[in-house]
Every structure is written in structure tokens, then in C-alpha cells.
Structure 1
Amino acid sequence: MISRSPALPVALRLALRELRGGLSGFRIFMACLILGVTAIAAVGSLTRAIQEGMEREGQSILGGDLEINIFQAQLESDAREWLTERGTLSDSARLRTMARVDGAPRSTLVELRAVDNLYPLYGDFITKPMLDNDALFERRAGKWGVAIDPLLADRLGVEPGDTLIFGNVKADIRAFIEREPDKANMGFQLGPSVMIQRAALEETGLITTGSLVNFYYKLKMPAGTDIKAVRKDLDEAFPDANWRVRDRSTSAPGLRRFIDQMGIFLTLVGISALVVGGVGVGNAVRGYMDRKTKTIATFKILGADGSTVFKTYFFQILLIGLVAIVIGMVVGSLLPSILTLFLPDTLPVKPDGGVYPVALVLSALYGLMITIAFAVWPLGKARDLPPVRLFRALVAPERRWPRFIYMATIFGAATVVVLLAVGMSDNRILAAGFMGGAGATLGLLRFTSWMIERLASKAPRSRNPLIRMAVANLHRPGAATGAVVISLGLGLTLFSTLALIEGNLSERLTEQVPEEAPAFFLLDIQRYQLEEFEQTAKGIEGVDELVTVPNLRGRVTKLNGVNAADVEVAQNVRWILRGDRGLSYMNELNSGSHLVDGDWWPADYSGEPEVSLGKEAADGLGLKIGDTISVSVLGREITATVRSLREIDWGTFGFNFVILFDPNTLKVAPHTYMATLKASDAAEVEAHKVLTNAYPNVTAIRMKEVLSSVNTMMDQIGTAVRATAAVAIIAGILVLAGAIAAGFRQRVYESVILKVVGAVRSQILRAYLLEYALIGLITAAIALGLGSLTGWIVVDFVMEMEFSFLPAPMIFTVVTSLLVTILFGLGSSYRALGIKPNAVLRTE
């Protein structure tokens, strides 16, 4: 008899004895866990490595300890004096303009940065050849010097020694830029960088009223200075200042936000892969318990209670799981060092190698909870089965649920996974939505597999024995239908969803945009140039649909008389209250929007200030017809009444403004104009050459250059997403292999019976082929349906873009599902058919 006391040591000893037989049957189990834990550990470690690198290099990325950024205005003398009293102050400016080749009809858009001799305060500005600022930028023989991005040299076909023209200034190319330490802090760039002396910018004639230029003032303070205290003092000294302040801990906020969000997303996808792997854990445990039926029955006949049986195999599963988790943690900790080799050069820091305990512990917790959640079910069912039922489990599987304590354990483990995913995320809504969607998908897949089994059991019996056998195999005891649908279905659903989202983004950017969008955006057109500019543009053959609009900047200061800073507004419109916003006025409503409430001004309107707002923005700001909004324009606060609300179609790629003033209020304010024009392919080059040569101060942004920059970024994002989706699919394939392996004993038994009654191998294989083809097609259909639904929701409602059903990823999903299911299914079945009937019948 097996001793009942103490139960724990006995169970542990039995578990260790069972492990002496090796890990046969647990290879898929371990592979699933290792894959999922590795993915989460690697993503978490890489994200943390990048974040630590940015924190460590915060001064270099910002270019100072403190930065003040002012749009279209320079620092007042009192503020400059205040800053210089606290450290070393460096002055720079940045604007988009055209770079033209002297003596040649070639030009392109560039990001022109004008820096002083103190640049950079931190970090290394590296050029090729390596020159100091004086040698790079000083005036020689009437020409200033510049350093350019090598990409600009490729675009314009220039090299050191050649001359570029910026407005009224000619400058010699003296070096190529190898490293721009604070480039990441500048945000998104449309053109290659050009560095020039700060004093030279004043001579270009590019800085005029309304020019879209940012002025940066970077402060280097003595070591040990309390930066937060300095920021607080700055706010108190200049409470009404219209500037943006950053310190070294908040440098490159856009990049930081992108890295954080990408890390969250990839971690969530990694958790999905681990959940898929969890199905494999459950399948492996079920198959193992199936093989241990006689051993368990023997334990119980010899006096072991259900608790001892459960603990024995739970400890065994837990020990194997812990080994797999440790392997996954080790591999995950090593992967970031390899992945850094493939990171884009646009990152301001290269992550250091190292161990990040928080990321590794989280991955281990996820792996442990998933193991418990999926292993307890089959173990709990085996715990309460009497010996006679254990012996009949092959042909009459037990369908009762495990005890409440085991169901509570499963629920608790799943809850921990959700709480970890949501609680550790900065974007809890995204995490909760993702986890909720994954749970709903898992539940729907399980329900669908159950419906397939039910329908197959109720289906009319075919006269064709092969079809009859294939349909029967979908619902027979130990059928792999449920496991295959859940495991492969979840991975393929994730893949098809991501493929549809990425495909729709690419299609919108590369196919529809060129047909709808203008060929050029033209900025900084002066009022005195407008009439001549319009005549010149319209005179170019192939140019049509020239649209010009006034361009001003203003800051929203009050909503219905309440300071904007004190008003609670919706998350999606907070950007309207941060810094200056683009403003305009129009006599007639353009085609990019239509009224949904209120009415448009008459052509001769000359009354009190009024505005037309975008409907979404108005709703988020809590404004309606008749409410007031105050905007500071060039230092003058204008309070206007909301006259109308517009639905804005941003997809037209024309000039659409959230805030449009009446045609009278801003008419006399100093401002510039912007324009869009469409041109045939043949006329694009000519229009670009004529307009940029005739108007050196005008910046021409080609839509193709915008799309090129966006596509580069999308490619980088897509690579990361596809790689992570591949992890989920690999997990699904592993689980599929485990599910089929778990039913191997049943398949052997079945093939032996069929051979005994006269079936030949080819007939049995055809039946199996049909069975797995049915499962593969059904799984593909489910994945297509769920993936298409999820992709449509994200594209249509979240991204607010037109959704297209793309055949390529869908066909890939179907073909992958069919091939993988059939290959693994037939591989297992072929092995089962190779076993001699007498070898099996002797043991039964």
C-alpha cells in the first residue's frame, strides 16, 4: 500500500521517479514554453535596454540639461539673461527649406539647422572629414561652410567642394555628417540634415513673418544642479511664456513614446504566443496522462488517493515547466545583444548588453501562470477518475469538469496573467482591450471547435466509407479537432489581423494617396509674392488645381472664458491645447470638409470674430454652436464665437484646419500663404525646378518624399510586427504537432482495428487526408473570419481609414493552415500505420 502520510513528500518522490524515464512526450511542452518565455523576455529586455540607453544619454540626445523651444519667435533679452546666469547657453534654429545646387537645375527639401560655435554642449558631432565648428562653418571668400547628410549628396549628386544655395546664401560643402548627437530630439524629418552657422541663417532671407522656424536654446548647467528646481523657477519667472521646455529626462518624447508603445504591443503579442503555447502545454499534459492511464490506475488500486496522484504529476509538470522557463529566460536575456545588430541607425543609442531582472521575472511569471492554467485541467480530471474509468478513457473519455478548487486555480492563474499584462502597461486601455480580445478569440475558437464536433456527430452518414470515417474522426473520442482549431487558429488569426492592418496601411500610403493627393505642398509664400506665384504656377504646362490658403499660428488660451490649462478635455484632442496651432481663414468652404452644424459666413461678412471648428475637436473640447474660444495670435488674444462645425476629411491630403476664422478677423494680421498643386508626372520635375528657382524662400515638399519617409518607418514597424507574428504562428505549429502527438495512441488503436477488419494502408491514409483537410479548411475559415473582423475594426474605427480586404495574406493563411495541418497529421498517422497489429493487441 502507498502511504498516505505525509502526502507531499510521497508525491514529490513519485514525481522524481517518473522523471527518470526522460522527457519523452514533453518536447513540444518545453518548446512551447521556451518560445513564449523567450519572446517576452527578449522584447522586455530589449525595450528596457533602449530606455536605459536613452536615460543614460539624455543630455546628449537633448543637447543640453535644459531646452527651450520657441516657434516663430526668438528668446527675449530678459529670458536670455536669466538662462545665462544659470549656465552655458547655446542658440540654434531649425526650418525646412530648399537646397539648390549652384549652377545646376537641381534642388530638394532639407532640414536646415543653424548652430552656434558652442554646438554641441553634450555628445559628439562627428563629420567626415572631422573638422571643428570654425573650419566647418566659417565664412571664406564670401561663402559660408555647411555639413550635409550623405543622403543629400546622393539626391543632388554633389560632393565636398561643391556649392549649395539656401535663399540668398551660397555655402560650400565641407564635410558629410556622420553623427548628429541630438537628432532624435528633433522629431520626424522630411528631408536630409544640413548644418550651417547660426549667423549665416540671418543672411538667407528665409526668416520672415510667418516662416515656419523653430528656435532652440539649450542650457548646460553645473554638475549637481537640481534641474526640476530650475524648471520650476523658470515657470515662475516667466508664467506667460509661449514656449516648450524639456530637460534631459524628457528628451526625444516622440521616440520614447514610440518605443514604449511598441514594447507594449510586442509584449502583448508575445503573451498571445505564450497563450497559444499554453494550449500546447494542455495537449502535452493530456497526452502524457493518457499514456500514464495504467500507472495512475495502479496507484489508485494500491491505495493512493486522488490528492497524491494530482500532486505527483503536478510536481512533475511544474519541474519540467520550470526547466523550460529558465531556458527561455536565458535565451531571452541573450537575444537583445543579437537584435541590436538589426536595429535601425535612426535610434540615438545602441542598447547595451546586460541582464534586466524585471523583464526576466515577468516572463517567468507569465510562463509559470500559463503552465498552471493549462496543466491543471487534465490533471484535475485524472485526480477524481476511478480506476475502472481510467481503463475506459481511450474509448469513453471523461467529460466531467474538475473540482471547484482546480477551476479556481485555473481562473486565478489566468487572472494573474491579465493583471500583469494590464498593470505593467503604461497604456492600460490598449492592454486590457488586447487581452480581452485574445480571451474572446480563444473562447470563440473553443466554442467553434465544439460546434464542429457536434455538427459532425449529427451529420448524415455518407455511403462513402472514407468520407464517413473522416467525418467521424472529427468527433471521435480523443479527436484533435478542438486542439487544432484553437492552437493553429489563434496563431493564424493573429497573423491575418496584422497582415491586413499592415497591408491596408501600405495600400493607403502607396496606392490611393498618389491618386488623390497633391504633387506638392508649398510653404512660406509671402503676401507680396502671392499673385505672381499663382500666375507662374498656373503657367506651367501640366499643372492644375492650384489652391492657396492663408497660414497663421495661434495658441488656444481659453474655452468659454476658462483658461485652457484648467479645462478637462478628451484625450484625443489635448494636442490642440499644447503649443501653437495652425490657423487660417476662408471665404468659401473647401472640398476637404462639409458642414454638419451651423452655417457658413456670407461673402461680405464683417462682424464680430467667429470660427468654424472640426466636429471631432469641438466634441472633445466640449464646445458647441454659440460657445466661445480664445486664441492668442501674434500676442493678441482674440475671442471668437463658434458659428459652425465641420466634418473634416483628412484623407484628401489638402489643407484642412481644425480652427478656421471668418474671412475678416485675421485678414490684416501679418501672415504667409501655403499652397498645394497637382501636376502630371511629366510636369512634376519642371514645376519643382521653376518654382524653387523663381522663389528661393518658398519650401516645396514633394508628396513622394513624404511617402518615402513614412514608408521607411512603416517598413521598420512592419518587420518587428511580422517577426513577432511569426513567433505566434510557430507556437501554433508546435501546438498542432503536440495536439496530434497527444492523439497518437488513439490513432494507433484506431488503425489497428481498421486493419483487422480489412482496410488497407492507402484507404486509411486517404481517410486521414480528408479528415485533416477538413480541419485545416475549417481552421483557416475561422482565422480568416476573426482576422478580417479584427482588422476591419482596427483599420475602420481605430485608424479611421477605408478598409480593403486583401487576398494575398488571406490566401497565405488558407494555404498555411491546410499544408501544416495535413503534413503534421499525415506524418503522425503514417507512423501509427507502421505499427504491427499484433504488437498492439497483445497489450490490450
Structure 2
Amino acid sequence: MHGTLPSPQPGRPLRGPLSGLPLTLRLALRELRGGLSGFVVFISCIAIGVAAIAGVTSISRSLGDGLGREGRRILGGDLTYSLINREATTAETAILEGQGRVSVVATMRAMAVATDGSAALVELKAVDGGYPAVGSLATDPAAPVADLLATRDGVFGAVADPVLLTRLGLKVGDRITVAGKPLEIRAALVTEPDSISAGIGFGPRLIVAMEALRATGLGEPGSLNRWSYRLQLPAATDPELEAASHAIGKALPDAGWEVRSRLNADPRFAKSVERFTQFLTLVGLTALIVGGVGVANAVSAFVERKRGSIATLKSVGAPGSQVVVLYLTQVMLIAAFSIAIGLSIGAAMPFLIDALFRDSLPLPLEPTLAPGELALAAAYGLLTALAFAILPLGRAHDIPVSGLFRDTVDPSAQRTRLRYKAILGAALLALAGLALATAFDRKIALIFMAAAALAFGLLRLVAIGLMAGARRLPHPRAAGPRMALANLHRPGALTPAIILSLGLGVTLLVTLSVIDANITRALTNTLPGKAPNLFFLDVPSRDADAFTGFLQGKAPAAKLERVPMLRGRITALDGVPVEQIKPPEDAAWVLDGDRGITTADSLPDGSKLTDGQWWTEEEGKTPKLSFEADLGKALGLKIGSTVTVNVLGRTLTTTIANFRKVEWRSLGINFVMVFSPGTFRGAPHSDLATLTLPGGPDPALEATVLRDVAKAFPSVTSVRVKDALETIDRLVHKLTLAIRGASVVAVLASLFVLAGAIAAGHRARLYDAVVLKVLGASRRRLMIAYGIEYGALGLSAALFGLLAGTLAGWVIVTKVMRLDFGLDLSGALVAAASAVILSVAIGLAGTWRILGQKPAPYLRQF
């Protein structure tokens, strides 16, 4: 008999639908016929975590498929070749046209001025006669694009975003001027097919004909604009796409194009989706790990309920390992059921979002079942269930049969065998490996795992310390406080489970609250006080002195800065093409696309030299480069390293003369790359200027300057810093809202764990309540005792969450976001207070029913 579970009696073969299964599995399934009573919290915790991970990853996959499906529409063709500050030459255009049909789109920022003198920043988009080559432009009223933008009575037409009409008090049929040229608003913009490729805009869209742009003079070389040449191939197959791209790259190796294909229409957006998906997946994994505490509690209660069965099995010769395998099989079957629920919810999320918000979604969503992503979520769920279930199940391995029965009234501590600890370690390592293998940024995944392990360890120490302190405190004279104190440290106390679940939930909420408060403060309070009030783009170099004099006349006491500005893209570092460089994630953006660059004869304000020497006047006549110190270090650059840039279609290699630390938060004029004055001598460029008012923000004066500059220098684009910050603020708060929504999942898991911990302690509480009621304790006195106990647990968890969450927020704000940290605990205190209230409320709610039981039926059982 030893070594196997008891077999059925000879001559009585086990028949039925389960007869072909292994004995352990058959017994597990037979026991589950009694239902899943006691596993509600277990199922809820696993299902919630798995649903969060499956939903986030499925939505991300659907977005990726949508971007792939709509790649041609987003780009306006199969391939797009973009240039900054200049148009393609005739020879370059001819090479593109040799591969297929080419359409041209130019984008830039400009000022739209109404007839009453009011002005607004717009995102100007000039299109040729073939626009849109793919998709359709929806307008109100609907009409062909060519008709809407055509010349009538010498005035070009325009299609305007309704936001612009509202901002300037206009309606269809009214006129505005851009760079001094009149435009008639012919329709309001409803949707444009290629809006995603434009990125974040700081003003409403205004679409005009290419001829209208040329009439304004805004597209001259050196001005801050982007020219996109959209190529439609005769045969849009992948081999044709690759062949055309290779031929154009070979014919024009030094043109300085930014190239995109329909297969990867917006790589920067795709990376952002991947980063955000990783973050939300980690939040979902947090919910799953928090829920793992509920799994452990539920399994402990399950083992408690099965004491009779376990004792029976062991008394007839079943070894402890076989008993553990039997009940582990049951637990994993229940986990599989829970995972199936979570996967169903997660898989349905993309379809639900598409059905509810299809017409309002700004991004193309292609709802799809994602087997790989769902399998990943299932693996997380199974590993979490195994990790948190194995130790409670392993406890019964070495307890003798007599000990199992005696544990009802005399619980004994048992050491867990090494094999079960090894299984736990293997499951945790598998979880960590899975998170690392699927992470977009492994550094963030490692930080998350280290933080999670540290939080679990610290919360365990808090629970141990609280229990030890309660054990050593003098016993109060009053019965209620004395009982509450005893409940904190007695065997089977709820202290570890409640401290862990509530502590993690409060820590997460406090961390998000601190980050949100600092971002809001940085965008609304701190930065505007230091930053310029107004930025002026595309100041023609020929008008620079006149423009400076004009601003000094409008705001004599203001600080005015003006620097030359060009756009260029890095093509090689130390002779290595950027395509072959794998930079760190936090520095990759420097090599991705074009960058603003400038020249200077002295160290710019807001910069501090960290290595090397600034060039002298004589040295500045030759090409030299100053590079931002932190980014240079991340890219492996040093003094003497070479940087190759493409500016206005010309490739230039310069040597790094020095590194400097830049104070980006001041929002002053500064650049990653500052060149010596002789580097681009004679190159066409425009100037960038800033105006900083001495008394801080002055809406009335700012509005006056904007209006007067728009009249006197119609080609200059004016940007009010406050408006730009508000645009960024709206975007950040949308992201924060999504993070908060995902974090609710983790908090919900914490509440389930709390409820489960109380349910798991039901038997011990029932025994206490019955004995105390027989001894004369009233329900009121018992409720006071339990209220003090739950209040102490909630307060301890809240204090830990406040400290740990504030520390985590400080690290993220200062080290990751590189912002100044301000201690604002208003939201954090609300989260902490809520934890105390919830712990007391849920605890007392679960206890109330116990206190209402009649003693007699239960006394007969004990």
C-alpha cells in the first residue's frame, strides 16, 4: 500500500466517464463534484489578474494589426520619404517617380489671423491635387478636396478643424490670413485619413493647397517644415516594396530621408504602444501577484476543510507526497477554470472596445484573437497559482494522522519540506523569466521584479514586527482591547495576509498619486515660472534684427533670446551608421528622426560644461560640436568622437569638442547638439526666439504680442508656452487615467484578498465567538474588539503604503522622469485613509454574521 493511493476493491472496476483517467486525476475530479465552495476568492483573484494581462496584450495586438492593416492609409502610400527644412530636388523627385506615383504633402506650424485681428497657432498642411491618394477626407459640407481648396476670385480655399473655428469665432465662408495671404474657410474638417502620422499637434489642423503654401512663402529653404513624398507602387507586394526601397536608397544614399513603409507606418508610435503595454502588463501582473496572497489563503482554508479526508487517506497508507499531488491537482484544475474565465474576458476586450467606440477611436483597431498573448496570460496565471498554493498544500505532508485530527484545537507548526520550497522557487523563477523574455524594456522589468520582491519582504517584516510587538505589549485591562491585541499575534492570525494585501494596494495608489501630483505641479506651476512665455519660430534671418527691435518695443523689460536654428538627423557615430547601433532605450530618440540644431560662439544659458573646452573665436571658424553629456555617455561618445549629420541634404562629419549638462526643465533655448559658428556658414536658416516676461505669465500682454506679431511678421509662428503645456498636460492626464484604470484591477485584487483572508479565518473566529458568547460577551463588545484589530491592521498597512509609495514615487519622478520632486500627500492620504476604513468595514461585515450564530450547535462540534 505504501507509495500509492488506495486502489478500488478487487472485482469492482471503476466505471464511468472518468475510468480511463489516471487515479489521482479521477479522485480530484470526483471531489470537485461537490462544487467550488470556498474558492470564490481564489477564482476571482486569478481571473482578475489574467483578464487584465490578456486584455492589455490583446488590445495591443489589435492596435498593431490595425496599424499594419491601415499602413497605406496612415502613410498615404506604400513608402514615404520625408525631408526637413527643404523640398526634394528635381533629380530626387525623378528617382522617386521612376518607382511609382508620387504625391506631396508639406506640414508646418503657422499663425492664422482672423479679420478682427485675433490669431491662433495652426498645424498647416499643404497638399497636392492627388490628395488623399489613399483613403478619404471627410468634411462638412462634403465636397471634392480639389473644389474645396481651389482658387475663387483670387482667394485659395481651406479646410479647418472645428476647434479653430471656435477659437477664432469663425464659420464656414469666413476668411483668415496666413503669412499675410487670404484664405477662405470652405468646410470644417471631420476626419483625415493620415492624421496618426502627423503625431502630436499643438494647434488645430488647417489644410490648404500646395499652391497656397507657395504663395505664403512659408515653405522656403531653412524654415521649419516637413516635406513628405508619398510613393504608391504599381504592385504593392512585399518583394516590390523591398526592391523599390533598395533601389531608391542606392540611388540617393545621402539625401537625408526619413523613410517609412506601410509595413511599419509609424515606428515611434508602435514603440510607444509597446512601452505602455509593458507597463500595463506589469500592473496586471501586480494584480495577479497580490491575488496570489488570496490564493494562498484560499488553499490554506481548503486544506483546513479537508483535514478529515487527508487523515483518512494517510490512515489507509497514502504517502504524504501522493496526498499533496491529489490536492494540488484539484487546485490547479480550479486555477485552469479561473484562467479560462480571465482569458474569455481579456479576449473579448478588443471586440467590446471596437463595438462601443469604433466611430470615436483615434487609432485603427483590428479586433482579433491573439493566441500568443492569451497563452502568455495563461502561463502567468498557472505559475502564480502554483507558486502561492504549493506551500499551504505541502504543510500536510509530514503531519501524522493524530496530529491532523488534533490540529482542530491544538494547531501545530510544521516545517515545509525542501522539495516544496524548490517548486516555489522554480515557479517564481519561471514568472521572472517570462516577464523578462516578453519585456519591451528589460531594465524596467528587472526594476519591477526587484521592487515587488522588496515590497513582499518588507511587508512580511512589518507583519512579523506587528505580531511581535503585540505579543510583548502589556495586556490591557479592558476585555475588548485585550482580545484585539491577542488576535494580532495568535496562531492563524489574519495579520500577515491583511498587511500584505492592503499594504501592496495602498503602496500602488500612493505611488500613482505622488507621480500624478508632481507631473501636474511641473506642468502647471513650476515650469511656467522659469520658462519663457512665448516662443517664435521661423523668424526669417533677414528680418531678425527688425523682429528683435519690434519685441523690445512691445515688452521693453522682457528678456529676449534668439538663436539660428536648423534641422538635421544623425546618420553615423564614429563612422558607424545609426542603423547598426543599438542604443539604450532612454537615448534611442536622439538617433530616431531629425533633431533641432544650432550654432553658438559661447556656452548657451542653461548649460554647464562637464568635459572638454569651449571653442575660442578662432577655433569656432572650423566645424566643431558640443554634445549633451548624459546622452553622449549613453551613446558611448567621448571627446574626439565623430558625429555625422545630414542637414539640408548635405552630409557633414564633425568632432566632439566638449560635453555639457543641459537644464531641460527651464524650457529655454537649448539643443542636444550645438555646433561652432563656422560649421554651417552661409546655409539658409531661420531663427528661433523666446520672450520671457519679468513678472511671469501675463495673459493680456501675451495676447497683445501674439496679435501684433501676427500682423507685423505674418510668416513668424508664435507659440504660447502655456498653451503647449496644456496640450501636453491633457495627453499626460489621459495616460494617467489609463494607468489608474489598470491600477484599479490591482486594488480590486487587494480587496478580494482582504475578504478572502477574513473568510479563511472564519472557523477560528467562529470558535472564539461561540466560547466568548457562552462566557457572557455581548455582540457589541466583540465588535469593538474586532474593530480595534482591523483598525490596527489597516493603519499599519496604510503607514507602510504611505512611506513605500512616497519613496517609489520619488524614485520614478527624480530618476526616471527627471523632474523636481515636491511632497504632495493630499491624494496619498485619501488612499491611506480609505485603506483603514475598508479594512475595518470589510472585517466587521464578515464578522457580523459569525457573531449572530447560536452557540449550541457549534459547541457539539468542538
Same fold, judged at TM 0.5 (above)? yes
The 5-angstrom pairing of residues 350-389 of structure 1 reads 350-389=364-403
Query: CA distance change for structure 1 residues 635 and 135 in 2, over 3 Å: closer, same or farther?
Result: closer
User: 1:600 Cα deviation (Å)?
Assistant: 4.1
User: 1:605 Cα deviation (Å)?
Assistant: 6.8
Show CA shifts across 1:468-490 (max 9, x none).
32222111011011011112222
- The answer (yes or no) to whether the contact 2:644–2:652 under 8 Å persists in 1 is yes
Query: CA distance change for structure 1 residues 212 and 409 in 2, over 3 Å: closer, same or farther?
Result: same
2:688 to 674, 685, 695: 674
Show CA shifts across 1:90-147 (max 9, x none).
112111111111x211111111111111112211221111211221111110011111
Counterpart residue number, 1:138: 150
Show CA shifts across 1:676-706 (max 9, x none).
1134222111111011111001000111221
Counterpart residue number, 2:290: 276
Query: CA distance change for structure 1 residues 67 and 346 in 2, over 3 Å: closer, same or farther?
Result: farther
Q: For the residues of structure 1 that align with 2:364 and 2:722, how far apart are their CA atoms? A: 30
Unaligned 5+ segments in structure 1 are none
Query: CA distance change for structure 1 residues 104 and 782 in 2, over 3 Å: closer, same or farther?
Result: same
User: 1:556 Cα deviation (Å)?
Assistant: 4.3
Q: TM-score, normalised by structure 2?
A: 0.92
- The answer (yes or no) to whether the contact 1:63–1:218 under 8 Å persists in 2 is yes
Query: CA distance change for structure 1 residues 507 and 341 in 2, over 3 Å: closer, same or farther?
Result: farther
SS of the equivalent of 2:838 reads helix
Q: For the residues of structure 1 that align with 2:815 and 2:781, how far apart are their CA atoms? A: 50
SS of the equivalent of 1:474 reads helix
Counterpart residue number, 1:115: 127
1:127 to 139, 146, 150: 139
Q: For the residues of structure 2 that align with 1:827 and 1:564, how far apart are their CA atoms? A: 62
Q: For the residues of structure 1 that align with 2:649 and 2:272, how far apart are their CA atoms? A: 34
SS of the equivalent of 1:191 reads coil
Counterpart residue number, 1:59: 72
Q: How many pairs are equivalent?
A: 843
SS of the equivalent of 1:725 reads helix
Counterpart residue number, 1:514: 528
Query: CA distance change for structure 1 residues 634 and 721 in 2, over 3 Å: closer, same or farther?
Result: closer
The 5-angstrom pairing of residues 588-607 of structure 1 reads 588-601=602-615
The answer to whether residue 728 in structure 2 is matched with residue 710 in structure 1 is yes
User: 1:509 Cα deviation (Å)?
Assistant: 1.0
Q: For the residues of structure 1 that align with 2:356 and 2:225, how far apart are their CA atoms? A: 34
- The answer (yes or no) to whether the contact 1:340–1:350 under 8 Å persists in 2 is no
Query: CA distance change for structure 1 residues 639 and 363 in 2, over 3 Å: closer, same or farther?
Result: closer
Q: For the residues of structure 2 that align with 1:342 and 1:501, how far apart are their CA atoms? A: 31
- The answer (yes or no) to whether the contact 1:87–1:221 under 8 Å persists in 2 is yes
SS of the equivalent of 1:25 reads coil
Counterpart residue number, 1:149: 161
Deviates more, 1:826-835 or 1:622-631: 622-631
Q: TM-score, normalised by structure 1?
A: 0.94
The answer to whether residue 753 in structure 2 is matched with residue 744 in structure 1 is no
1:495 to 505, 509, 532: 509
SS of the equivalent of 1:383 reads coil
Q: What amino acid maps onto 1:135 in structure 2?
A: D
1:25 to 10, 21, 38: 38
- The answer (yes or no) to whether the contact 1:608–1:640 under 8 Å persists in 2 is no
Counterpart residue number, 1:824: 842
- The answer (yes or no) to whether the contact 1:523–1:673 under 8 Å persists in 2 is yes
Q: For the residues of structure 2 that align with 1:512 and 1:652, how far apart are their CA atoms? A: 9
Query: CA distance change for structure 1 residues 345 and 788 in 2, over 3 Å: closer, same or farther?
Result: farther
Q: For the residues of structure 1 that align with 2:357 and 2:501, how far apart are their CA atoms? A: 31
Counterpart residue number, 1:263: 277
Q: For the residues of structure 2 that align with 1:35 and 1:411, how far apart are their CA atoms? A: 24
SS of the equivalent of 2:395 reads helix
User: 1:344 Cα deviation (Å)?
Assistant: 9.8
- The answer (yes or no) to whether the contact 1:297–1:390 under 8 Å persists in 2 is yes
Counterpart residue number, 1:195: 207
Cα-Cα RMSD: 2.6
Query: CA distance change for structure 1 residues 627 and 92 in 2, over 3 Å: closer, same or farther?
Result: closer
Q: What amino acid maps onto 1:132 in structure 2?
A: P
Q: What amino acid maps onto 2:312 in structure 1?
A: T
Query: CA distance change for structure 1 residues 432 and 566 in 2, over 3 Å: closer, same or farther?
Result: closer
2:495 to 481, 490, 507: 481
Counterpart residue number, 1:77: 90
Q: For the residues of structure 1 that align with 2:620 and 2:439, how far apart are their CA atoms? A: 52
The answer to whether residue 666 in structure 2 is matched with residue 652 in structure 1 is yes
User: 1:565 Cα deviation (Å)?
Assistant: 6.3
Counterpart residue number, 2:425: 411
Query: CA distance change for structure 1 residues 666 and 68 in 2, over 3 Å: closer, same or farther?
Result: closer
Show CA shifts across 1:538-580 (max 9, x none).
2225861121122233444665677666677655444444554
Q: What amino acid maps onto 1:338 in structure 2?
A: L
SS of the equivalent of 1:690 reads helix
SS of the equivalent of 2:772 reads helix
Query: CA distance change for structure 1 residues 241 and 603 in 2, over 3 Å: closer, same or farther?
Result: closer
Query: CA distance change for structure 1 residues 523 and 159 in 2, over 3 Å: closer, same or farther?
Result: same
SS of the equivalent of 2:804 reads helix
- The answer (yes or no) to whether the contact 2:6–2:316 under 8 Å persists in 1 is no
Query: CA distance change for structure 1 residues 570 and 379 in 2, over 3 Å: closer, same or farther?
Result: closer
SS of the equivalent of 2:560 reads strand
Q: For the residues of structure 1 that align with 2:276 and 2:571, how far apart are their CA atoms? A: 34
SS of the equivalent of 1:745 reads helix
- The answer (yes or no) to whether the contact 2:84–2:568 under 8 Å persists in 1 is no
2:783 to 765, 781, 785: 765
1:178 to 190, 207, 226: 190
The 5-angstrom pairing of residues 208-287 of structure 1 reads 208-225=220-237, 226-287=240-301
User: 1:710 Cα deviation (Å)?
Assistant: 1.1
The answer to whether residue 466 in structure 2 is matched with residue 422 in structure 1 is no
User: 1:640 Cα deviation (Å)?
Assistant: 5.0
Q: For the residues of structure 2 that align with 1:76 and 1:497, how far apart are their CA atoms? A: 53
Q: For the residues of structure 2 that align with 1:117 and 1:608, how far apart are their CA atoms? A: 45
The answer to whether residue 114 in structure 2 is matched with residue 96 in structure 1 is no
Identity of aligned residues (%): 39
SS of the equivalent of 1:539 reads helix
Deviates more, 1:284-293 or 1:441-450: 441-450
Q: For the residues of structure 2 that align with 1:537 and 1:9, how far apart are their CA atoms? A: 87
- The answer (yes or no) to whether the contact 1:612–1:659 under 8 Å persists in 2 is yes
Q: For the residues of structure 1 that align with 2:360 and 2:243, how far apart are their CA atoms? A: 32
Q: For the residues of structure 1 that align with 2:582 and 2:319, how far apart are their CA atoms? A: 62
User: 1:770 Cα deviation (Å)?
Assistant: 1.1
Query: CA distance change for structure 1 residues 224 and 594 in 2, over 3 Å: closer, same or farther?
Result: closer
The answer to whether residue 318 in structure 2 is matched with residue 301 in structure 1 is no
SS of the equivalent of 1:435 reads helix
- The answer (yes or no) to whether the contact 1:598–1:645 under 8 Å persists in 2 is yes
Q: What amino acid maps onto 2:372 in structure 1?
A: V
Counterpart residue number, 2:463: 449
